[in-house]
Chains A and B, each alone.
Chain A
Amino acid sequence: MNNPLRTKRAEWLVTLPSFLWLALFFAVPAVIVLAFTFHGHDASGGVGAWGMETWRELVDPDYPAIVWNTLRISFEVTLWSIVLALPCAYAIARMNSKWRGIVAGAIMLPFWTSFVVRVFAWKAMLHPDGWLQACYLVLLRTRAWLFDWLPGFVQQFLIWIGMASAGPVDPASSTILDSEAAVVLVSVYTFLPFAIMPIYTAAEKFDFALLEAARDLGAKNFYAFRKIFIPGVRQGLVSAVLMVFIPAIGSYVIPQMLGGTDCVLIGNKIFMRAIQNRNIPHASALATLMAASVLVPIACAMWWKRRQDARDRRRLEQQTAKLIVAGVGR
């Protein structure tokens, strides 16, 4: 048992099945997808000869906008999910164990119904005669009204990044069904449990006496929440962001059924290329692009974080050294 070599081997044996599983069903397909992108396609829907034509085809004027929209919407969905999940997780962690079980169960309840059925239910709720449509119009009008107050260049910028459009709200053409708002709304609904759970797990381990200590030292409730609770559940927050952002980027069913022609995301494009156009290499290239658009920012963030940590550590060492030199230390 204490023999390190034997422990090592035991570890290997235990992880081997999951390792094989991942290799077989994740790594190998990923490599195949990457390989497909360096092939052409033939008219019958097969994979053609080696070549760079697929990557050349990818220079489509539509794609940058679609990638940008996908990233922007995923970001919005993540933001809203986190904003809603944080107070939820906080509240659940503070409940007594009986209520905790009930509420956690209620959050998981939707998973007992098929996802597609739930999306259809949303389709009914978002019907143009429904109350959600009325709310949507109020929201749009408020936004248009606020938009008018903004200086011109900000208006231009918002239009440019696709966050707003000029002109008055036309109730006939502004339906919430088949709009970006519907996609964001239903995506937040779908991903919210995945945001709540990791934060809640972290919050459960959080020592709430720390909030009392902060208030005791003069902090208002919200300040204590922001400065003590949020950093305290940082690990959970990071998982929550990943748990929402990554599936949101690959999201396909929700924009397909609720986004209409208004909101086409990269997932829909991949589907279209693979099934309708029967162009597997092209779909593979888009999928690769999508994966890269997630992995590259995460890699950058990790690199930046590591650099930041190293710099912090250096700074702390210097400061301590300075204090000791100044004769403050004992």
Chain B
Amino acid sequence: MNNDFLVFDHVTKRFGALTAVNDVCLTVTKGEFFSLLGPSGCGKTTLLRMLGGFERPDSGRIYLEGKDITDLPPNQRRVHTVFQNYALFPTMTIWDNIAFSLKLAKKPKEEIEERVDEILKMIQLADQAWKYPNQLSGGQKQRVAIARALVDRPQVLLLDEPLAALDLKLRQHMLLELDTIHDQVGITFLYVTHDQGEAMSLSDRIAVINRGKVEQLDSPAKIYEAPSSRFVASFIGDTNFFSGEIVSVDGDYCFIQCAGFPQIKAYNDRALKVGQQIDLSVRPEKIRVTLAPPPPEKGASINVFPSKVKDIVYQGVYTKFWLDSSNLRIAALKPHSRFLLDQEAITWNDDVFVWWHPDDGYMVPSEE
């Protein structure tokens, strides 16, 4: 029963000729941290606004705890939004901003005071309560916006790219705080972002959206390790694609022929047949780059290809190599550590070997 707490049932929204949300079906579990992830303009905000009551779907229904809320006005839904630009009321103090929904609900004065003070304590802004929003920093405003939306305990909290306006350090800090707040209040969070890092680190489940359609709905690890489409694989993190045809199948494994490239061995978990067109996705961090060939005892079962180093980009946590292998561009990541120092350093135009385990490639349907 808890499983269909919030349901989007074949929801479609058009703006003129543009279909912003296309036949979306989603089910969110109670208490879950659920993310909508997708590129700019894919319809995430539109989806949220339909749940908030600011847009009416052209077709389909939205259910919250079994009740059809599709046609309810915003003020009759116990669903609150944290807006991207915070939308704090500039003519009210922080305290009054937070108390706004409680006053509307005609709660007794003592209860309002108690709950506002409690949530102010939670967001650690009790000493700022009597300031006005324009006297606060970005991160503080952000916390106030969250507190204002949470204080009367909505059924769902909607967050529309809440961290987009913050700088990197603050964003990382707020990510942790959001996580803590979610654990404390136990309210269902529906989080919209185009930043896969944010979505991955916070969410219980993620719906990846592309052009108004849900491409994949899964846990962060599943979405990263087992993307359902070429779009998902490329949108979530970096990857290398090898487009080709399955030329032979050998037990759990198959061999893929890409134009002008040696055959690649890959784990065939979907039992695809010979002759099928697929894209093989191999994440850069799964690829190793060495000057010497891999030890022979591994050589038999893994993919090894000779390549040339084209570019090296130092990125702090790791170094990124761009390699040329039979006219294919391959990206690979190598971490830094003292243990790797005894290996000979790799520089531009070195002839190297790239290798990866067949289980580290993941096949997605070809998009043509």
Contacts and interface: CB of A to CB of B under 8 A. Distances in A.
B184 interface: no
Interface residues of B, number: 31
B124 interface: yes
A213 B81 contact: yes
A217 B80 contact: yes
B130 A234 contact: no
A150 B143 CA distance: 53
A214 interface: yes
B149 interface: yes
A213 B104 CA distance: 13
B124 A215 contact: no
Contact of B100 (A217, A231, A328): A217
Interface stretch (A63-71, A193-201, A204-212): A204-212
Contact of A209 (B83, B91, B93): B83
Interface in A173-225: 207, 209-210, 212-220, 223
9 contacts: A207-B85, A212-B74, A215-B53, A215-B74, A216-B79, A216-B81, A217-B149, A232-B90, A323-B126
A212 B117 CA distance: 25
A214 B126 contact: no
A218 B101 contact: yes
A323 B104 CA distance: 24
Given A216-B74, A329-B127, 10 more contacts: A213-B87, A215-B74, A215-B75, A216-B75, A216-B81, A217-B104, A218-B104, A319-B129, A323-B129, A324-B127
A329 to B, nearest CB: 4
B89 A210 contact: yes
A315 to B, nearest CB: 8
B220 interface: no
A114 to B, nearest CB: 41
Contacts of A228: 89, 91
A308 to B, nearest CB: 15
Contact of A210 (B87, B105, B129): B87
Judged by DSSP, the binding face of A is helix
A231 B53 CA distance: 25
Best-buried of A215, A317, A324, A330 by chain B (most CB within 10 Å): A215
A320 interface: yes
A330 B124 contact: yes
Contacts of A220: 75
Contacts of B100: 214, 217, 219
Given A217-B80, A218-B105, A220-B75, A212 B126 contact: no
Contact of B126 (A216, A231, A328): A328
Given A209-B85, A320-B127, A328-B121, A217 B148 contact: yes
Nearest to A223: B104
Contacts, number: 80
Interface residues of A, number: 26
B17 to A, nearest CB: 19
A217 to B, nearest CB: 4
Best-buried of A213, A214, A220, A319 by chain B (most CB within 10 Å): A213
B54 interface: yes
B147 to A, nearest CB: 12
A95 interface: no
A232 B87 CA distance: 13
A215 B73 contact: yes
B52 interface: yes
Contacts of B90: 210, 232
Nearest to A207: B87
A215 B124 CA distance: 26
B120 interface: yes
A316 interface: yes
A237 to B, nearest CB: 12
A316 B52 contact: no
Contacts of A324: 126-127
A25 B127 CA distance: 53
Contacts of A316: 93, 130
Contacts of B87: 207, 209-210, 212-213
Contacts of B148: 217
A216 B73 CA distance: 9
A220 to B, nearest CB: 6
A65 to B, nearest CB: 40
Contacts of A210: 87, 89-90
Interface string B110-149: 0000000100110010110110000000000000000011
